[in-house]
Amino acid sequence: MEKIKMTTPLVEMDGDEMTRILWRTIKEDLILPYVDLKTEYYDLGLPHRDETRDQVTVDAANATERLGVAVKCATITANRQRQEEYHLSEIWPSPNGTIRAVLDGTAFRAPILLPFLRPAVPGWEKPITVARHAYGDMYKAVELVTNEPGIAKLNFKGQSGKDETLVIAKTKGNAVFQGQHNTETSIRAFVHSCFQYALDTKQDLWFSAKDTISKEYDGEFRRAFDEAFANTYQAKFDEMNLHYFYTLIDDAVSRVMRSKGGFIWALKNYDGDVMSDMVAAAFGSLAMMTSVLVSPDGSMEFEASHGTVTRHFYRYRAGEKPSTNSTATIFAWTGALRRRGQLDGLPDLISFAGKLENACLETMKDGLLTGDLGVLVDEGHRCQILNFEESLEAIAKRLATKMHPISER
């Protein structure tokens, strides 16, 4: 069989530990037999980030901007313990943070559903995609602890000489303070990514915040969404029969709980952090959550939501075969291949991405599962728990029957 051709390379970012092991097998056994794979390869594994003084991460992010599509393996975020373990010259910043800063994107996280894995919220029939604004607010705040009566003020000195001061509070005793900010550029980039993604995936868009209390700060987010909708997206939404709506976050939580799913829920940084973990937990396993970072110019970086599965890697290094689930990593690859196929007009590549996803899903539907899913299965559903190698072999077999139907064998 002739391999499926690609015209433009996609950016491939290799990673660490157990996911690096899965990465190699996914490429060799599931993709390379069928696709004449073109990638620009960047090794974001911690040793190579250290060798290049993290330049490789910046190069990979810039390449994503240039080529428009990337697939990323999970990577270790260095800390003091990792510095000792890997003899690092410095504690390098989180690669995801670096990539986000270059792409100025929004992180969309969505679960992969299976009929026999029942979500903790029984009404949820379709996936809920959480779109988290990934800049500012509490994550870029300054904090102050005081221990005497006094007065705290918020002061802004403009370049023009403008000087504005607000009293935050007069305190009678010990107190704590926090200064948060966001920027119009980042908020608008977030807003456009959300609308664009809703159009790309043909889903309704919800945005929720607390603009009754935070009239200026949350109000700025709401105004940006409302304006972008009215000025740019309403006609396209109408045409595709899609809906955008804003509601207060407390109302949104109760609506989400009572919904059937099947929409994008856009949230500010902290709300998105909390709600994406809630949605992930309610749908099942972290290994069934996909993640894509979308920049305002439409560049997309696909990855799994989970980390490098360190505990499994240590067992692998000790000679065991852990039962690691490769679904989210495979779906990162299929997401990137499909996107490349859409941009370059390659129907065979798009169709291959679908077949590989179906091979994964059907293998699991047959009851061939990894340990993380075994514990979530409905009573009465027969299943067999495989290690990561057996699971990938089963998927490869299933894929082969789709790529070479019996009539052609």
Residues that bind ligand NAP (CB under 6 A): 74-77, 96, 286-287, 303, 306-311, 324-325, 370, 372
* Residues 100-159 close enough to bind Mg ion by CB under 5 A: none
User: In the structure encoding, which two tokens stand for residue 284, read together?
Assistant: 């099942």
CB–CB of 202/243 below 8 Å? Answer: no
Q: Which does 277 bind (CB under 5 to 8 A by kind): ligand NAP, Mg ion, none?
A: Mg ion
Rounded to 5 degrees, φ, ψ at 132 are -105, 125
Minimum Å distance from CB 102 to Mg ion? 22
Minimum Å distance from CB 280 to ligand NAP? 10
The CA distance from 272 to 265, in Å, is 9
Minimum Å distance from CB 192 to ligand NAP? 23
Q: Which is nearer to ligand NAP, 130 or 224 (CB)?
A: 130
* Residues 273-332 close enough to bind Mg ion by CB under 5 A: 273, 277
CA 126 to chain centre: 18
Residue nearest to ligand NAP (CB): 307
Minimum Å distance from CB 365 to ligand NAP? 18
Q: Which does 26 bind (CB under 5 to 8 A by kind): Mg ion, ligand NAP, none?
A: none
Q: Which is nearer to ligand NAP, 49 or 192 (CB)?
A: 49
Minimum Å distance from CB 353 to ligand NAP? 20
Q: Which is nearer to ligand NAP, 350 or 377 (CB)?
A: 377
Minimum Å distance from CB 268 to ligand NAP? 20
* Residues 225-284 close enough to bind Mg ion by CB under 5 A: 273, 277
Rounded to 5 degrees, φ, ψ at 157 are -110, 115
Q: Which does 310 bind (CB under 5 to 8 A by kind): ligand NAP, Mg ion, none?
A: ligand NAP
Q: Which is nearer to Mg ion, 86 or 270 (CB)?
A: 270
Q: Which does 75 bind (CB under 5 to 8 A by kind): ligand NAP, Mg ion, none?
A: ligand NAP
Would you tell me which residues interact with Mg ion (CB under 5 A)? 273, 277
